[in-house]
Amino acid sequence: MILVATVFFGLLLLGLPIGFTLGIAGTVGLLQIGGEQFLTMAPKRFFEGLDLFTFMAMPFFILAGEIMNRSGITERLAHFADALVGYLRGGLAHSNMVASVLFAGMTGAAVSDTAAFGNTLVPAMVKKGYTRPFACAVTAAGSIIGPTIPPSNLMVIYGSLMGVSIAGLFAAGILPGLLICLLCMALIAAMGKRWNLPKGEGGPSLWKILKAFKDSILALLMPAIILGGILGGIVTPTEAAAIAVFYALFIAIVIYRSLSLQDILEMLIRTARITGVVFLIIASASILSWWMTFMQIPQSIAAFFLTISQEPHVIIAMILGLLLIIGMFMDINAALIILAPVLVPLTQAIGMHPVHAGIMIVLALNISLMTPPVGACLFVLSSVTGERIERIAVALWPFLLLQVGILFCVAYFEKLTMFIPRLLLGIG
């Protein structure tokens, strides 16, 4: 265990990509166990780690997000959000949050949200008088709504690996995602009075809302198609993702006529690159996960936690602390694949439902997307806007503290997570 841990953290500190780090560390573990016969497990696990039909949903959701960004669908959603709440003080910041909710129902990745609104809403906010770090902070805070409200790539990975209903996870993410939006908007409202944030022009206008709704109605139908199909048991998450791509292409090419063949080629290449990185991490992590299971490390860690305390509230706090710390230094996909087999048995030991545990783990890792030193959303915003990561992180801390508080509420109040899955799917 010491040798594998040394190899893993050593390669991580040297800057080797996390996919290669996981694979090498897992292979070292296999060699240490028993030589060549165990080494044959490496290629086997590398293949079997990806041999799950539900993983096919991920590239489709990623491609759907790419189409929406490139075709102008994202701008229409932002315009509709601005019509709803843009007249308030701090109106564009509120619009950013509402647009994140609308965008969340179509793609399962926070990075897509960050890139889209970093290119559109951040410049618009700066032009209206917001500071660039604050505009970036609002965008980063809203970005984690994307992988919390379904569909969510992290939920697909968790459900596939742990044998948990992905439809149940999708349903469970709705209320926590909406809660993040509402409380962040309340925080923006408080900041608006204290810092005199810019106020939108004019007041609420029903005509403006109806006009913006008309312009974006085709885009707004996509979440209904995706979630309605999955929660209604009509399609699987993978089939819903494929339908989302077809629908987005139809809107972009036939209705809006905003995509060229060159655009489609570039989107396919970008989707392949993003998917390749994620799948390499999943496949490599499955080698390390098998080694950990063989060595009974999950059971040992669970037993260690239980020796500290058998009080469920204390164990949940320790789990959340571990997730938030690990997420600061590791890619969240890798962290999920490695930690889920370790933590889920522990949550089951204290009586947590697997869906509830999954949402808790996913939300904790989503928050890690905003925390330095390796917060992916911070790096995307910095590259898109030119703002320094340190300045974004300083402006982000009130939102970060608020979302950590929401995380603890989700973890400790099961009904907040399980109400919709029980209502719609009869889970739990």
Q: Nearest 5°: CA angle at 419, between 113 and 298?
A: 75
- The single residue listed with the structure tokens 């897992």 is 26
CA dist 164 and 172 (Å) reads: 12
Alpha helices in 14-148 (DSSP H): 18-34, 36-39, 41-48, 57-71, 73-85, 91-104, 110-127, 132-143
* Residues 100-116 pLDDT 10s: 888 776 666 677 778 77
Q: What pLDDT is attached to residue 183?
A: 95
CA dist 87 and 163 (Å) reads: 46
CA dist 140 and 117 (Å) reads: 9
| Nearest to 291, CA basis, from 14, 49, 15, 16 | 49
Report residue 377 CA to chain centroid gap: 10
**Beta-ladder partners of 364:** none
Contact 292, 342 (CB under 8 A): yes
Q: What pLDDT is attached to residue 63?
A: 84
Domain ranges within the chain, ordered by starting residue: 40-425
- Count other C-beta atoms under 10 Å from residue 224's C-beta: 10
Q: Which two tokens stand for residue 256?
A: 């809006």
From first to last of the 428 residues of the chain, give the pLDDT tens digit. Answer: 788 888 888 887 887 887 888 888 888 888 887 666 667 777 887 887 777 777 787 788 888 878 877 777 777 888 888 888 888 888 888 988 988 888 776 666 677 778 777 777 888 888 888 899 999 999 989 888 888 888 888 898 899 888 898 889 999 999 999 999 999 999 999 988 788 888 777 677 788 888 888 888 888 888 778 878 877 778 888 888 888 888 888 888 888 888 888 888 988 998 888 888 878 888 888 888 788 777 877 777 777 877 888 889 999 999 999 898 888 877 788 888 888 888 888 898 888 999 999 999 999 999 988 887 767 788 878 887 888 888 998 999 999 999 999 999 999 999 889 999 998 888 76
DSSP 240-285: HHHHHHHHHHHIIIIIS----HHHHHHHHHHHHHHHHHHHHHHHHH
Q: What pLDDT is attached to residue 105?
A: 67
* Residues 50-60 pLDDT 10s: 777 777 877 88
